[in-house]
C-alpha cells in the first residue's frame, strides 16, 4: 500500500510546476494515498502480466501528411493571446534554468 | 404561435426550410430563453449573441442547404471557436480567444447550425457534476439544488431547460452520457476516432471524444452526421464512412437484435431506483423483440482504477502547456520572480483543486519507478477490457447497463470525497477504454429524477446505438421536466 | 592550472566517448504541421496552432521526415523498425510550446548501426546505438544581460519559428579504444556523418546555423578499470569545437581524477567564444521525463518493401567516393583524409565533375578556399561559392585569361558576392594583360626606377630581371602576363634569353 509523504508530493509538484503551500501538500498527500489505495487493485489483475499494453483505441498505423507548406497564422493573431510580447516575440520573465 | 424553444431540432429545421419561421426568429427565441432562465441554470459561460444572429441571417439568405440549417446549438466550452472565448471551465484560460476553429466547430458552421454560445463544464472536463467549473456550478433543471452531471453539465442542462435543442459534449469517461442520464436527455459518445478531436482542448487524448447531445434520438443522429467523419488534422481520426446513424434513428425496430446485459455493471453501488428503471428498460427491449442474455465482462471492474491512472497521466502532460508564456493567465510577473516561479504560481492559482489533484496523480503514475506498476499496468488492463468487449460481440450485438449508478445528487454532496465522485463513471468508462460507441437514453424517473439506459456497441457500429435508442424512445418517451422553478 | 595536458592525460587514462548529434531535416514543412522551415524568417511568422501548442491542436506526421530518417538509418547500416511509436518527453521549458517534446523513447525508427571513419590512415568503426525522430524547440533571446547569455538577463523573448522543425537524433554507443586520439576520432566522426547526411540530401548540415548540433560525452578510466563517470557537453556547434570539447574535457577530468576527486555526472555547456565548457545541471537532480507513448499519433510501421527500395536508392557513401578519388583520380591517402577532415570531399568531387582535374580541385579547396573559410570562421563547404564557379576560375587560368594571383582575386570577388567569375573579371578589371604595347610603358618605368637591377641584367646577370618583372606586375596590379613582361624586360635591356 503506498504511503505518500508531503516531500514526495512536493517533488511531484516541482515536476509539474505547481507552487503548492504546505497545507495543500498535506491535503494532497492524504488524498493521493486514498486514491492510490483504490486504484492499487489493478495490481490484482495478474492475467495482465503477459498481455500487451493498449496505448491507442484505434488500430491505425502510418497516418502521415505530405511535406507541403500551408500558410501560418498572421503574427497579430499569434501574439494576440500572449500575456506579454515584445519585438514580435513572446516576452517571459528571466529564465533560471538554462538546461534542457 | 408555438414556443419555438420546445421544438425538436428536426422540427425546427423543417419549419425554417418551409419558411414557416425564420432562423433569426428561432435564434432570437432561444437567446430570449437564455436571458430568462440561465440566471438560475447557469448553463452558459458565454453567449455569442452577435455571432448567432449573423449565422441565422446567413441561413435565412439561403446559404446552407443542410438538414440542421438554422438550428441553435450549445457548444461545450472545451472546443475552440475562432474569436469566441474558450476557457474549458478554467481560470487559466480566462479571456483567451482562439485564433482557430475546432473541426467540429467548423463543420457546425458549414452546416448552418447556429452556435448560441459556450457551455459550462467541469474544469478541463475533470468531474461528474460541473461543480469543478472555475465559473460556478450549473444547476439541474429537474431540481436546481442538484447537479446536472459532468463534465458536460452545461450542455445537458441547456437542453433540459429548452435553451437549445442541440448541444455538443465531450466524453472521456462518461461526460456526455452521465449528464444526459441525470437530465433526461440523449447523449452519444461516438466511436473513438469517429469525430475529430482537432480543436478539442485535451484532457486525456486517448479517451476524449466529442459527440452529440439532444432531446430526441433523431436529433442526436442528425447532429452526429454533421460532426462525424475523417479529418486529416487528427491522426487518430478513422478514414471510413460515417455509420448510417440517421437511417438507424428512423428505424425504430430491434426485432431479433441480440442484447447483452453486463453482469458486472449492476448490483452493489447502484441505487435501487436506478436498478429498477434499468430492469424495466430491459423488459421493454424484450417486448420490442430483442433477445436478451446476461454477459460477463470480468475485467470491467478494473475499468475505473485503470481510467484513474490513464486519464490523469495523459492530463498531466496535456495540461503542461498552460504555462503563462503564449496565452492565458500569468501570475506573479513582478520583475523579480523568475519564469520558473511565475509558471508555478500561475499554474497553482489558475488550476482548481481537482485539476491539481489529477496532475499530481498523473505525474506520480508516469514517474520512473512507478510507471510499470501504474500506467503500464493500466494499459494492459485496457487490453483485457477490450478483449472482454470482443468476446461479448461473439454472442451479442449490443451491451446494456445503467448509464450511472445514481440519479442527480445534491450540489456539494460529493465535493469532499473525490472517490465517491469518481464512482459516477463506473459504468461508462469501459467504452472509453475500449474505444467503441456508447449512448445514454432517457429511461424514466426515480423519485422524480431521470435515469439513463446505456447502450454500448462495437467500434464503428454507432448506428446500433441509434437503432436501439429509436425503438426504446418510441416505447418509452422521454420524461418532461416541470421546470416549476421558472414561475416560482 | 586545473587541467592535465592532453597527451599526458591520455598516457595515464583511457577515454570513452559518445556522441549525440541532432540534425534538422531539410523538409519544406515542419514535423507535425504545415508551417514553413525557412531559416532567418521574421520571428513568430512560421507558426500555427499546432507548433505553438495551442489548446486543442493536434500533430500529424510529415511523411518526408519519416523517409529521411529511415534513409539516414540505412546509410548508417541500422536495422529499421517494423513498428514503432512516438513518445512524449515531459519537461518544462519556455522554448518548448507544449512543455513536452514529441520524440521517440524505447522504440526508435533505426537501431544498431555503424559508421567507419578514417583517422590518421586507420579506419575506426563507430557503433551507432539509434537514430530517432523528434521535433526542435523554439529560440530564446536573452535581454538585459551583459553577454546576451541567459545568466544576468532581465527577461527573455521567445520565437517559435524553429519549434517543430523535424530533428533527427543520432546516438553512438560508447566508443572505446580511441587511445591517444579521442578528440580526433570525435571530429572525424562528426565530419564523416555530416558528409553522409549531405550526400543523402536530407539536411543542409550547417553547423553555424544550428542545423547540425552535437552533444559530446566523455569519461576517463585508468587502464584495466571500469569506465568512469561521464559528463555530457551540450551545444557543440562546429567541427573544431567537437575536437576542442573532447580535448578540454579529457584535460579537466584527468586533473580531477589525479587529484583524487570524483567526476560528477553532469551536463556541461560549451561556449564557442572561449572554447571552454561550464557546468550546468547535475544529473543527480535531473528531471524525470515521464515518457509515455504519444496518444495523439498512431504507430509507424514502415513497409519492408518500401524500406528495401529506399536502401537500393541510397547514394554512394563518402568512403566509397573517397576511394574513387584515391584510386581513379590518383590523390594520395593523405590528401583524401585532409579533405574529409576539412569537410570538402563532396565539393571537391563536384568540382572535378564540373571539369577540373583532381589536383586543381584539391589545391583550391585545401588552399585558398580553406584559408578564406578559416578567416570567415565557417566551414569551407559552406562558403558562398559553388563547385561550378571554382571550375570556371580554373578554366580561366588554363586559358591564360587569369594568373594564379588574379584567380585568387576573382574567387575573393565571388565570395564577396560580386557575381559569377566572368563578371568579377570584368568588374574588377582582372584579365591578364599580354598586349606588348600596353606593357611597354610599365617596362620602361620599371627600368627607370631601378637602374641598378637594369645594369646587372645588362651585364649578364639575367636573374636580376626578376625584380624588374615584379615591378611590372605590381604596376599592373598583377594583371600582366609575367612571361611576356619578362621577355620585354630582357629585350629592352638587350639580352636574349631562351624562353622556351
Ligand atoms: Mg533528443
Ligand atoms: Zn505550425
Residue of C nearest to B316 (CA): C90
User: What mean pLDDT do residues A61-69 have?
Assistant: 98
Residue of C nearest to A74 (CA): C45
Q: Measure the CA–CA gap between C425 and C410, rounded to whole angstroms.
A: 6
Contact between chains at A100 and C96 (C-beta distance less than 8 A): yes
* Whether pLDDT at A1 is above 50: no
In the DSSP assignment, the letter for residue C119 is: E
Q: Measure the CA–CA gap between B201 and B221, rounded to whole angstroms.
A: 24
Say if residue B410 is preceded by a cis peptide, omega within 30 of 0.
Answer: no
DSSP state letters, C9-62: HHHH-EEEEEEEEEEE---SB-SSS--B--TTPPTTSS--TTTTT-TT----EE
Q: Measure the CA–CA gap between B312 and B101, rounded to whole angstroms.
A: 26
Q: Which residues contact B383 (CB under 8 A, 6 or more apart)?
A: A48, A51, A52, A53, A54
Contact between chains at C94 and B99 (C-beta distance less than 8 A): no
Q: Measure the CA–CA gap between C319 and C118, rounded to whole angstroms.
A: 9
Q: Measure the CA–CA gap between C408 and B9, rounded to whole angstroms.
A: 81
Contact C72, C110 (CB under 8 A): yes
Residue of C nearest to A65 (CA): C62
Does residue A59 lie in a domain region? no
Does residue B32 lie in a domain region? yes
In total, how many domains does chain B have? 1
| Cα–Cα nearest to B18, from B30, B6, B10 | B10
What pLDDT, on a 0 to 100 scale, did the predictor assign at position C281?
Answer: 61
DSSP helix/strand/coil, C133: strand
In the DSSP assignment, the letter for residue C452 is: H
Catalytic, out of B128, B133, B175, B196 = B175
Distance from CA of B339 to the nearest CA of A (A): 5
The residue behind cell 517543430 is: C164
What pLDDT, on a 0 to 100 scale, did the predictor assign at position B371?
Answer: 94
What pLDDT, on a 0 to 100 scale, did the predictor assign at position C458?
Answer: 86
Q: How many helices (H) and strands (E) does chain A have?
A: 3, 3
Contact C287, C311 (CB under 8 A): no
| Cα–Cα nearest to B342, from B316, B320, B323, B318 | B323
Facing residues of B441 across strands? B453
Contact between chains at A32 and B364 (C-beta distance less than 8 A): yes
Host domain of residue B26: 4-256+436-487
What pLDDT, on a 0 to 100 scale, did the predictor assign at position A100?
Answer: 39
Q: Name the residue among C28, C62, C280 with its Cβ closest to that of A64.
A: C62
Q: Does B118 qualify as catalytic in the annotation? A: no
Cα–Cα distances in angstroms (integers) from residue B43 to residues B150, B208, B333, B487, C11, in the given order = 12, 21, 34, 19, 77
Residues 22-41 of A with CB under 8 A from B: 24, 28, 31-32, 34-36, 38-41
Q: Name the residue among B207, B339, B378 with its Cβ closest to that of A94.
A: B339
Q: How many CB atoms lie within 10 A of CB C469?
A: 21
Candidates A8, A83, A90, partner chain B, best to mutate (most B CBs within 10 A): A83
Instruction: List chain B residues with CB under 8 Å of C89.
Output: none
Per-residue model confidence as pLDDT tens digits over B365-400:
999 889 999 999 999 999 999 999 999 999 999 999
Q: Is the CATH code 3.10.20.30 the one for domain C436-492?
A: no
In this prediction the ipTM stands at: 0.97
Residues 335-354 of B with CB under 8 A from A: 335, 337-345, 347-348, 351
* Whether pLDDT at B444 is above 80: yes
Q: Which contiguous run of DSSP H or E holds residue C453?
A: helix C451-458
In the DSSP assignment, the letter for residue A84 is: -
Does residue A23 lie in a domain region? yes
Q: How many CB atoms lie within 10 A of CB B207?
A: 26
Joined grid coordinates for residue B72: 441553435
What pLDDT, on a 0 to 100 scale, did the predictor assign at position C142?
Answer: 92
The residue behind cell 423483440 is: B289
Q: What percent of chain B has pLDDT over 90?
A: 98
Contact C48, C250 (CB under 8 A): no
Q: Measure the CA–CA gap between B333 and B158, rounded to whole angstroms.
A: 39
- The residue with greater pLDDT, C494 or A23, is A23
DSSP state letters, B256-291: T-EEEEETTSSSTTS-HHHHHHHHHHHHHHHHTT-E
Facing residues of B446 across strands? B449
The residue behind cell 646577370 is: C461
| Cα–Cα nearest to C203, from C189, C188, C217, C213 | C213
Instruction: List chain C residues with CB under 8 Å of B234.
Output: 58, 60
- What does the longest C-alpha to C-alpha distance in chain A come to? 58
Does residue A70 lie in a domain region? no
The residue behind cell 485503470 is: B306
CB–CB contacts below 8 A, A to B: 177
In total, how many domains does chain A have? 1
Q: Give the distance, in angstroms, between the CA of residue B176 and the centroid of all CA atoms in the same chain.
A: 2
Q: Which residues contact B144 (CB under 8 A, 6 or more apart)?
A: B40, B41, B485
Contact between chains at B98 and C288 (C-beta distance less than 8 A): no
Host domain of residue A22: 6-43
Q: How many CB atoms lie within 10 A of CB C305?
A: 8
Distance from CA of B127 to the nearest CA of A (A): 15
Q: Measure the CA–CA gap between C80 and C78, rounded to whole angstroms.
A: 6
Distance from CA of B320 to the nearest CA of C (A): 6
Q: Does B380 qualify as catalytic in the annotation? A: no
Catalytic, out of B129, B151, B161, B313 = B151
Q: Measure the CA–CA gap between C168 and C103, rounded to whole angstroms.
A: 9
Which-ligand-closest: CA of C165?
A: 2
DSSP state letters, B12-32: HHHHHHTTSS-HHHHHHHHHH
Give the sign of the dihedral formed by CA A87, CA A91, CA A93, CA A94. Answer: negative
Q: Which residues contact B28 (CB under 8 A, 6 or more apart)?
A: B53, B56
Residue A23 sits in a domain of what CATH number?
1.10.20
- Assign 3-class secondary structure to C217-228: EEEEECCCCCCC
Q: Measure the CA–CA gap between C268 and C397, rounded to whole angstroms.
A: 50
Contact between chains at C56 and B235 (C-beta distance less than 8 A): no
Q: Is A65 on the interface with C (CB under 8 A)?
A: yes
Contact between chains at A98 and C151 (C-beta distance less than 8 A): yes
Regarding pTM above 0.95, the answer is no
What pLDDT, on a 0 to 100 scale, did the predictor assign at position C148?
Answer: 67
Residue B13 sits in a domain of what CATH number?
3.90.1300.10
Phi, psi of C5 (to 5 degrees): -50, 145
The residue behind cell 649578364 is: C460
Instruction: List chain A residues with CB under 8 Å of C158.
Output: 89-92
Contact between chains at A94 and B338 (C-beta distance less than 8 A): yes
Q: Measure the CA–CA gap between C317 and C319, rounded to whole angstroms.
A: 5
Q: Does B235 qualify as catalytic in the annotation? A: no
Cα-trace Rg, chain C: 28
Q: Measure the CA–CA gap between C200 and C202, rounded to whole angstroms.
A: 5
Q: Which residues contact C23 (CB under 8 A, 6 or more apart)?
A: C72, C167, C168, C169, C170, C197, C202, C203, C205, C211, C212
Average pLDDT, 10 consecutive residues per value, chain C (500 residues) = 89 97 98 97 98 98 98 98 98 96 97 94 94 97 78 91 98 96 96 92 90 95 94 90 95 94 89 83 69 98 98 89 75 78 81 90 92 87 91 92 89 93 88 79 87 86 85 82 84 69
Distance from CA of C240 to the nearest CA of A (A): 23
**B423-447 burial, b if ≥16 CB within 10 A, otherwise e?**
bbbbbbbbbbbbbbbbbbbbbbbbe
| Cα–Cα nearest to C164, from C33, C295, C72, C274 | C33
| Cα–Cα nearest to B424, from B121, B88, B129, B169 | B129
Contact between chains at B235 and C158 (C-beta distance less than 8 A): no
Does residue B60 lie in a domain region? yes
Does residue A16 lie in a domain region? yes
What pLDDT, on a 0 to 100 scale, did the predictor assign at position C485?
Answer: 84
Burial class (CB in 10 A: 0-12, 13-18, 19+), C451: exposed
| Cα–Cα nearest to B219, from B462, B11, B424 | B11
Contact C290, B366 (CB under 8 A): yes
Per-residue model confidence as pLDDT tens digits over B391-443:
999 999 999 999 999 999 999 999 999 999 999 999 999 999 999 999 999 99
Q: Which residues contact B158 (CB under 8 A, 6 or more apart)?
A: B41, B43, B44, B74, B119, B164, B167
What pLDDT, on a 0 to 100 scale, did the predictor assign at position B406?
Answer: 97
Per-residue model confidence as pLDDT tens digits over B98-134:
999 999 999 999 999 999 999 999 999 999 999 999 9
The alpha helices in C313-400, defined as continuous H runs, are 318-328, 333-342, 345-353, 358-366, 368-376, 387-398
Distance from CA of C244 to the nearest CA of B (A): 33
C96 CA to centre of ligand 2 in angstroms: 13
Amino acid at each position: 500500500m503506498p504511503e505518500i509523504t508531503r516531500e514526495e508530493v512536493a517533488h511531484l509538484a516541482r515536476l509539474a510546476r505547481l507552487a503548492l503551500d504546505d497545507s495543500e501538500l498535506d491535503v494532497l498527500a492524504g488524498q493521493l494515498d486514498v486514491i492510490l489505495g483504490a486504484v492499487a487493485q489493478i495490481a490484482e489483475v495478474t492475467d495482465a502480466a503477459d498481455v500487451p499494453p493498449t496505448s491507442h483505441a484505434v488500430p491505425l498505423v502510418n497516418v502521415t501528411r505530405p511535406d507541403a507548406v500551408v500558410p501560418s497564422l498572421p503574427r497579430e493573431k499569434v501574439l494576440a493571446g500572449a500575456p506579454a510580447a515584445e519585438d514580435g516575440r513572446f516576452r517571459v520573465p528571466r529564465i533560471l534554468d538554462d538546461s534542457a | 404561435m408555438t414556443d419555438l424553444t420546445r421544438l425538436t431540432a428536426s422540427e425546427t429545421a423543417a419549419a425554417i426550410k418551409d419558411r414557416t419561421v425564420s432562423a433569426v426568429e428561432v435564434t432570437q427565441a432561444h437567446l430570449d430563453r437564455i436571458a430568462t432562465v440561465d440566471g438560475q441554470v447557469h448553463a452558459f459561460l458565454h453567449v455569442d449573441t452577435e455571432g448567432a444572429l449573423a449565422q441565422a441571417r446567413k441561413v435565412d439568405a439561403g446559404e446552407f442547404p443542410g438538414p440542421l440549417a438554422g438550428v441553435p446549438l450549445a457548444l461545450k466550452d472545451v472546443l475552440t471557436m475562432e474569436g469566441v472565448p474558450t476557457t474549458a471551465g478554467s481560470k487559466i484560460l480566462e479571456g483567451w480567444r482562439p485564433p482557430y476553429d475546432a473541426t467540429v466547430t467548423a463543420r457546425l458552421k458549414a452546416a448552418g447550425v447556429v452556435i448560441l454560445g459556450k457551455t459550462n463544464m467541469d474544469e478541463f472536463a475533470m468531474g461528474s457534476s460541473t461543480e469543478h467549473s472555475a465559473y460556478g456550478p450549473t444547476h439541474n433543471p429537474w431540481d436546481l439544488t442538484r447537479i446536472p452531471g459532468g463534465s458536460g453539465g452545461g450542455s445537458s442542462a441547456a437542453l433540459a431547460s429548452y435553451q437549445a435543442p442541440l448541444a455538443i459534449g465531450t466524453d472521456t469517461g462518461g461526460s456526455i452520457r452521465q449528464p444526459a442520464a441525470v437530465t433526461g436527455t440523449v447523449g452519444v459518445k461516438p466511436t473513438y476516432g469517429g469525430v475529430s478531436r482537432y480543436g478539442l482542448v485535451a484532457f486525456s487524448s486517448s479517451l476524449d471524444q466529442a459527440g452529440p447531445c439532444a432531446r430526441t434520438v433523431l436529433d442526436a443522429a442528425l447532429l452526429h452526421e454533421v460532426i462525424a467523419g475523417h479529418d486529416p488534422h487528427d491522426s487518430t481520426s478513422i478514414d471510413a464512412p460515417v455509420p448510417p446513424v440517421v437511417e438507424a434513428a428512423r428505424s425504430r425496430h430491434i426485432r431479433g437484435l441480440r442484447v447483452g446485459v453486463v453482469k458486472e455493471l449492476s448490483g452493489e453501488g447502484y441505487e435501487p431506483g436506478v436498478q429498477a428503471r434499468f430492469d424495466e428498460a430491459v423488459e421493454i427491449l424484450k417486448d420490442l423483440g430483442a433477445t436478451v442474455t446476461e454477459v460477463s465482462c470480468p475485467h470491467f471492474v478494473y475499468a475505473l482504477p485503470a481510467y484513474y491512472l490513464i486519464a490523469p497521466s495523459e492530463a498531466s502532460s496535456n495540461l503542461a502547456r498552460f504555462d503563462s508564456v503564449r496565452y492565458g493567465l500569468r501570475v506573479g510577473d513582478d520583475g523579480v520572480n523568475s519564469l520558473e516561479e511565475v509558471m508555478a504560481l500561475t499554474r497553482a492559482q489558475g488550476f482548481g483543486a481537482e485539476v491539481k489533484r489529477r496532475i499530481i496523480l498523473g505525474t506520480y503514475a508516469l514517474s520512473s519507478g512507478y510507471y510499470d506498476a501504474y500506467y503500464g499496468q493500466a494499459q494492459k488492463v485496457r487490453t483485457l477490457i477490450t478483449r472482454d468487449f470482443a468476446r461479448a460481440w461473439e454472442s451479442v450485438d449490443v451491451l446494456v447497463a445503467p448509464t450511472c449508478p445514481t440519479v442527480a445528487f445534491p450540489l456539494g454532496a460529493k465535493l469532499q470525497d473525490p472517490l465517491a465522485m469518481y464512482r459516477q463513471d463506473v459504468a461508462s468508462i469501459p467504452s472509453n477504454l475500449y474505444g467503441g460507441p456508447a449512448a445514454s437514453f432517457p429511461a424514466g424517473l426515480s423519485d422524480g429524477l431521470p435515469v439513463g439506459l446505456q447502450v454500448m456497441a462495437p467500434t464503428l457500429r454507432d448506428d446500433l446505438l441509434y437503432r436501439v435508442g429509436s425503438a426504446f424512445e418510441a416505447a418509452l418517451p422521454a420524461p418532461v421536466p416541470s421546470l416549476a422553478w421558472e414561475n416560482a | 592550472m586545473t587541467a592535465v595536458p592532453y597527451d599526458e592525460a591520455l598516457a595515464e587514462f583511457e577515454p570513452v566517448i559518445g556522441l549525440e548529434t541532432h540534425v534538422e531535416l531539410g523538409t519544406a514543412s515542419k514535423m507535425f504541421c504545415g508551417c514553413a522551415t525557412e531559416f532567418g524568417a521574421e520571428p513568430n511568422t512560421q507558426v500555427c496552432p499546432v507548433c505553438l501548442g495551442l489548446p486543442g491542436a493536434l500533430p500529424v506526421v510529415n511523411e518526408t521526415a519519416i523517409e529521411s530518417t529511415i534513409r539516414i538509418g540505412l546509410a548508417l547500416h541500422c536495422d529499421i523498425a517494423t513498428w514503432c511509436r512516438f513518445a512524449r518527453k515531459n519537461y518544462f521549458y519556455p522554448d518548448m510550446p507544449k512543455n513536452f517534446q514529441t520524440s521517440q523513447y524505447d522504440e526508435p525508427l533505426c537501431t544498431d548501426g555503424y559508421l567507419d571513419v578514417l583517422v590518421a590512415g586507420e579506419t575506426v568503426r563507430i557503433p551507432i546505438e539509434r537514430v530517432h525522430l523528434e521535433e526542435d524547440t523554439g529560440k530564446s533571446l536573452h535581454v538585459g544581460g551583459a553577454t546576451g547569455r541567459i545568466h544576468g538577463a532581465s527577461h527573455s523573448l521567445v520565437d517559435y519559428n524553429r519549434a517543430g522543425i523535424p530533428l533527427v537524433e543520432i546516438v553512438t554507443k560508447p566508443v572505446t579504444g580511441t587511445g591517444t586520439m579521442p578528440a580526433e576520432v570525435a571530429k572525424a566522426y562528426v565530419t564523416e556523418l555530416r558528409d553522409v547526411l549531405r550526400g543523402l540530401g536530407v539536411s543542409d548540415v550547417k553547423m553555424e546555423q544550428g542545423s547540425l548540433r552535437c552533444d559530446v560525452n566523455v569519461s576517463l578510466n585508468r587502464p584495466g578499470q571500469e569506465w568512469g563517470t561521464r559528463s555530457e557537453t551540450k551545444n557543440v556547434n562546429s567541427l573544431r569545437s567537437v575536437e576542442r570539447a573532447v580535448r578540454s574535457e579529457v584535460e579537466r577530468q584527468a586533473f580531477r581524477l589525479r587529484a583524487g576527486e570524483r567526476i560528477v555526472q553532469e551536463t556541461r555547456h560549451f561556449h564557442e567564444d572561449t572554447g571552454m565548457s561550464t557546468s550546468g545541471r547535475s544529473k543527480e537532480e535531473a528531471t524525470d521525463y515521464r515518457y509515455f507513448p504519444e496518444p495523439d499519433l498512431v504507430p509507424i510501421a514502415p513497409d519492408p518493401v518500401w524500406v528495401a527500395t529506399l536502401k537500393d536508392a541510397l547514394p554512394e557513401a563518402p568512403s566509397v567516393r573517397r576511394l574513387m578519388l584515391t584510386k581513379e583520380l590518383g590523390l594520395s591517402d593523405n590528401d583524401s583524409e585532409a579533405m574529409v577532415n576539412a569537410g570538402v570531399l563532396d565539393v571537391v568531387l563536384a568540382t572535378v565533375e564540373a571539369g577540373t582535374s583532381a589536383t586543381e580541385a584539391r589545391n583550391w579547396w585545401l588552399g585558398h578556399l580553406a584559408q578564406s573559410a578559416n578567416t570567415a570562421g565557417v566551414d569551407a563547404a559552406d562558403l558562398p561559392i559553388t563547385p561550378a564557379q571554382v571550375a570556371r576560375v580554373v578554366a580561366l587560368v588554363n586559358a591564360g585569361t587569369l594568373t594564379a594571383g588574379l584567380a585568387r582575386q576573382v574567387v575573393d570577388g565571388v565570395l564577396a558576392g560580386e557575381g559569377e567569375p566572368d563578371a568579377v573579371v570584368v568588374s574588377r578589371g582582372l584579365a591578364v594583360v599580354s598586349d606588348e604595347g600596353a606593357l611597354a610603358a610599365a617596362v620602361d618605368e620599371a627600368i627607370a626606377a631601378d637602374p641598378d637591377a637594369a645594369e646587372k641584367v645588362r651585364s649578364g646577370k639575367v636573374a636580376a630581371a626578376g625584380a624588374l618583372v615584379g615591378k611590372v606586375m605590381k604596376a599592373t596590379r598583377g594583371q600582366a602576363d609575367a612571361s611576356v613582361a619578362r621577355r620585354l624586360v630582357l629585350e629592352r635591356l638587350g639580352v636574349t634569353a631562351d624562353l622556351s
